[in-house]
Amino acid sequence: MSDIIQLLPDHVANQIAAGEVVQRPASVVKELLENAIDAGASHIKLIIKEAGKTLIQVIDDGKGMSVTDARLSFERHATSKIKTAEDLFQLDTKGFRGEALASIAAIAHVELKTRQEVDEVGTVIHIEGSEVISQEVCVTPKGTSISVKNLFYNIPARRNFLKSNAVELRHIIDEFHRVAMAHPSLRFDMYHNGNEVFNLIASKHRQRIVNVFGGKTNEKLVPVTEETDLVGISGFVGKPEYAKRTRGEQFFFVNNRFIKSPYLNHAVNAAFEGLLKDKSHPSYFLYLTVDPQSIDINIHPTKTEIKFEDEHALYAILRASIKHSLGQFNVAPVLDFNRDSSMDTPYEYKSKAAQTPTIEVDRGFNPFKEEKLSGENNSSSTDKKYTSFKKESPGSWENLYTGLESEMTSQKSTQNDFSSVEFESEEVTGSLFENDDKKVGHHTTYQLHKKYIVTTIKSGMVIVNQHRAHHRIVYEELLRNITMASAASQQLLFPLTLSFSKTEVALILSIQEQLENMGFVFSEMSESSTNEIEITGIPSITSEKEVSLLLDKLLSDLENEVPESGFSQTDLLAKSIAKSIAIRTGVELASEQQQYMVNSLFACTEPSITPDNKPTFITLTVDEIDTKF
C-alpha cells in the first residue's frame, strides 16, 4: 500500500495560514501598521480603496529593509524579532511570528517598496499568490511602502463572505483606532477613496483620544494613575453620566498592545457599581504596563488575548484605582476618615462645663379645677410660679358676639334671599354597576401593573403589552413617513448640538435623507468640517431630551448590522428608532391613552407581533376563564 501522507506545497500552506491571520481587510491593516511601528516610523500613512477590497497601502518613514531582507520578509516564519523560544516571553514588539507578509502575499497582489537611509536606491518586489513576479531596483523615499491589491482574488469563497463596504470600513477604522491610540507619539494619516478620514498629529494620550473621538470627549474623561510592583496603570475613564448603551469606547492596552479581556472589563464595571444606569457601559482608555515575562501573548492568532500570571491581584488593583480616581475627582462619593475641622468644639466653649438641662413640672396642676376669671388675682404661690400652665379664662363670652346682630342686619338689607348663593357641587360618580344601556358601543380598558392593557372583546378579553404594542405602532408610522416623506417635524427654539466621532458623522451623513424623511432637520454639515451635528428640528413623536439616546442607539445598530441602501436599511432605521421611542414598562397611561393605543394597534397591518417577531397581545376566551373556576 502506497504512502498517503505528503507535505503541502508552500503556496497551499500559506493560504491555510492566511485563514488564521487574514480574516478580512482590517486584519491586513492591523499587521501592516504593526510592522511599520516596529520599523521605528514616526509618520505612518494608511490609504484604502473600496473598504480595502481593492487597495490597502501603508507608507512609513522607518528604517527600511535591505535587498535580502525585503525578499526574506515574504518567507514563512521569517522574522527579526525572535531567535529562541525564550524570546516569546520577553516580547516588546508587535509582529513576531513572521507569518503576516507570507499569508497576505498568498491571497493578494502585493507590491513592496523599501529603502534604507544608507542606501542610494531601494528595492521593489511584486508578488501574486506567493509567487514572486519581479524584483528590481527603484528610486523610493527612505522607509517602506506596501500595497495590497485585490484581496482574496484567488479565493472567491472568502471574498464572497466579506460584508458590505460600510461594515468592512468600520472594522478597518476600529483597528486604526487601536493602533493610533496605543502610540500617541507617532503621526497617523488615513485616506479612504481619496478623502481624508483622520489626520492625527503626535501628541499626548489625552489629546489623541480627543482627536479620535471628538472635542467634547475631553470633558468626559477622568484620569486614572497607579504605580505598583505588579502593574503600572494610566489612562482615563469616562464620567458615569456619559455612559453609553454600547461598548464602543472601551480600550485596554497592555505594553502598548490592544487586548480584549472580559475579566478586566468586569473589574472596571465593578468600580462603577451603583453609578451607572441599567444596561449602560462606561467608557475607558486604560494603559497597563507589566513585566513581559509575566504575560503570554501568543495564545491567540490575532494576539488580542493575553494570559496574565496573577489575574486576581491585577483585578483588585484595577478596581481600586478606578474607584479612587472617581472619588478623588468628586465623581463618586468617598469616605474620608480624616478629622473634619468643622466638627471641632469652638474656642470659647472649651473651658466651660456641660450643664445638665432641668425640667420643672407643676405637680399640683388640675385641669378640671374651676379657675377664676382672668381679671382676678390668684393667691396661690404655686399658681404664681407656674403661670405658664394656666388656661386662658374665657372671660365674658357674651363679648364675642358683640356687634354680630348689627352686622347680620346690614347683610339682610343688601341681600333679601338666597337666590344668588352658589353651592360647591361634587362630581357625580357612576355606580359600581352601571346600566348596560349607558355602555353601548363603549369599550373599557384597564392598565395592569403599568405594563399591560386589559380590554374586552366579544369572545372574552385581550391583554396587550404596552411597550411592544407601541413599538409596532411607531414602527409602522416611521416606515410610512420614510417611504412617503410625509413626517411632521417640530422646530426647536434653540438648535441642538451633538458631538460624534468622524466615523459616526460619516454614518449619519449616509442616512441623512432617511432621517429627514422621519422628521429630523439638520443644519448644513460635511464629513470633514467638524465632529458636531446641529439639529434644528425633530420628529413630532419624540422629545428633545430623547434625541441623543435615540441617535446613539441608532448608530450602534447600524455599526453592528449595516445593510446596503434600500428597503433593508430603511427597515433597520425604523426598527431602531421605534424601539427607542416606544413607551416603556412602568409608565402610567390615562384611560384615553390606553384606548388610543389599543385602537392604533389593531389598525396596524400586522398587529399581532412586533418588528422583532414578538407577540404584542394575548386573548383569553370566556371558556378559558371558565376552566379556572
* 423: Cβ contacts below 8 Å, ≥ 6 apart: none
Judge whether 389 lies within some domain.
no
Residue 395 confidence (pLDDT) above 50: yes
**pLDDT confidence band for 386 (50 / 70 / 90):** very low
355: which DSSP letter?
P
**pLDDT confidence band for 348 (50 / 70 / 90):** low
194 and 227 part of one domain: no
The three grid cell numbers given for residue 273, joined into one nine-digit string: 457599581
The three grid cell numbers given for residue 153, joined into one nine-digit string: 482574488
Q: pLDDT, tens digit, for every residue of 4-14?
A: 787 777 767 76
Q: Give the residue, 25 or 384, on which the prediction is more confident.
A: 25
Flag the least confident range among 29-38, 232-241, 510-519: 510-519
**pLDDT confidence band for 113 (50 / 70 / 90):** very high
Distance (Å, whole) CA 48 – CA 195: 10
CB 501 within 8 A of CB 531: yes
Q: DSSP strand E in 116-249: where? A: 122-128, 131-138, 143-149, 187-192, 195-200, 221-227, 232-238
267 and 179 part of one domain: no
Q: Give the pLDDT of residue 432.
A: 39
**pLDDT confidence band for 127 (50 / 70 / 90):** very high
226 and 167 part of one domain: no
Judge whether 421 lies within some domain.
no
Q: pLDDT, tens digit, for every residue of 442-501?
A: 557 888 888 888 888 888 888 999 888 898 888 888 888 777 766 677 888 888 888 777
User: Among residues 328, 359, 386, which one ends one of the domains?
Assistant: 328
**Of 168-182, 207-221, 392-406, which has the strongest mean pLDDT?**
168-182
218 and 188 part of one domain: no
Q: Taking residues 304-319, report their average pLDDT.
A: 84
Judge whether 363 lies within some domain.
no
Q: Give the pLDDT of residue 405.
A: 58
**pLDDT confidence band for 176 (50 / 70 / 90):** very high
CB 332 within 8 A of CB 326: yes
Q: Taking residues 132-145, report their average pLDDT.
A: 91
Q: Give the pLDDT of residue 186.
A: 93
194 and 233 part of one domain: no
156 and 72 part of one domain: yes
Q: Give the pLDDT of residue 430.
A: 42
Q: Taking residues 499-523, report their average pLDDT.
A: 79
Q: pLDDT, tens digit, for every residue of 404-451?
A: 555 555 555 555 555 555 555 444 444 333 444 444 445 578 888 888
- Residues facing residue 454 across a β-bridge: 446, 463
Q: Taking residues 98-118, report their average pLDDT.
A: 87
Q: Give the pLDDT of residue 441.
A: 44
**pLDDT confidence band for 55 (50 / 70 / 90):** very high
231 and 116 part of one domain: no
Q: Taking residues 599-622, report their average pLDDT.
A: 87
Domain containing residue 252: CATH number = 3.30.230.10
User: Among residues 137, 165, 200, which one ends one of the domains?
Assistant: 200
Judge whether 494 lies within some domain.
yes
Residue 242 confidence (pLDDT) above 50: yes
566: which DSSP letter?
T
Q: Give the pLDDT of residue 439.
A: 44
Inter-residue long-range contacts of 157-164, CB under 8 Å, 24+ positions, other chains counted? 158/19, 158/107, 159/53, 162/24, 162/25, 162/53, 163/24, 163/562, 164/562, 164/563, 164/564
Domain containing residue 582: CATH number = 3.30.1370.100
Judge whether 365 lies within some domain.
no
Q: Give the pLDDT of residue 346.
A: 63
Judge whether 453 lies within some domain.
yes
Distance (Å, whole) CA 624 – CA 620: 6
First to last CA, the chain: 79
Flag the least confident range among 28-37, 57-66, 396-405: 396-405
Flag the least confident range among 170-184, 301-315, 332-346: 332-346
584 and 519 part of one domain: yes
Domain containing residue 50: CATH number = 3.30.565.10
285 and 195 part of one domain: no
CB 593 within 8 A of CB 563: no
Rounded to the nearest 5 degrees, what angle is found at the Cα of 93, between the Cα atoms of 203 and 152? 95
Q: Give the pLDDT of residue 560.
A: 62
Q: Which of 246, 248, 251, 216 is nearest to 236 (CA)?
A: 251
Enclosing H/E stretch for 507: helix 502-510
Q: pLDDT, tens digit, for every residue of 185-202?
A: 999 999 998 888 889 999
Q: Taking residues 212-241, report their average pLDDT.
A: 88
Q: Give the pLDDT of residue 381.
A: 47
Is 2 in a helix, a strand, or coil?
coil
Distance (Å, whole) CA 541 – CA 547: 11
User: Among residues 328, 343, 371, which one ends one of the domains?
Assistant: 328
Q: Give the pLDDT of residue 89.
A: 56
Q: Taking residues 281-288, report their average pLDDT.
A: 90
Residue 382 confidence (pLDDT) above 50: no
The bridge status of strand 617-621 relative to strand 460-465 is: antiparallel
244 and 170 part of one domain: no
Q: What is the mean pLDDT of the chain?
A: 78
* 293: Cβ contacts below 8 Å, ≥ 6 apart: 89, 90
| Identity of the residue numbered 595 | Q
91 and 240 part of one domain: no
Share of the chain above pLDDT 90, in %: 17
Q: Give the pLDDT of residue 541.
A: 77
Flag the least confident range among 22-36, 521-535, 576-590: 521-535
Residue 308 confidence (pLDDT) above 90: no
Judge whether 336 lies within some domain.
no
In total, how many domains does the chain have?
3
Residue 291: domain span = 214-328
Residue 334 confidence (pLDDT) above 50: yes
Share of the chain above pLDDT 70, in %: 75
Q: DSSP strand E in 27-139: where? A: 43-49, 55-60, 109-115, 122-128, 131-138
315 and 167 part of one domain: no
Residue 384 confidence (pLDDT) above 70: no
Q: pLDDT, tens digit, for every residue of 248-278?
A: 788 999 988 888 888 889 999 899 888 887 7
CB 114 within 8 A of CB 64: yes
Q: Give the pLDDT of residue 287.
A: 93
Give the distance between the most distant pair of CA atoms in the chain.
Answer: 139
Residue 389 confidence (pLDDT) above 50: no
Judge whether 398 lies within some domain.
no
Q: Give the pLDDT of residue 256.
A: 87
Model confidence, pTM: 0.66
Residue 286 confidence (pLDDT) above 90: yes
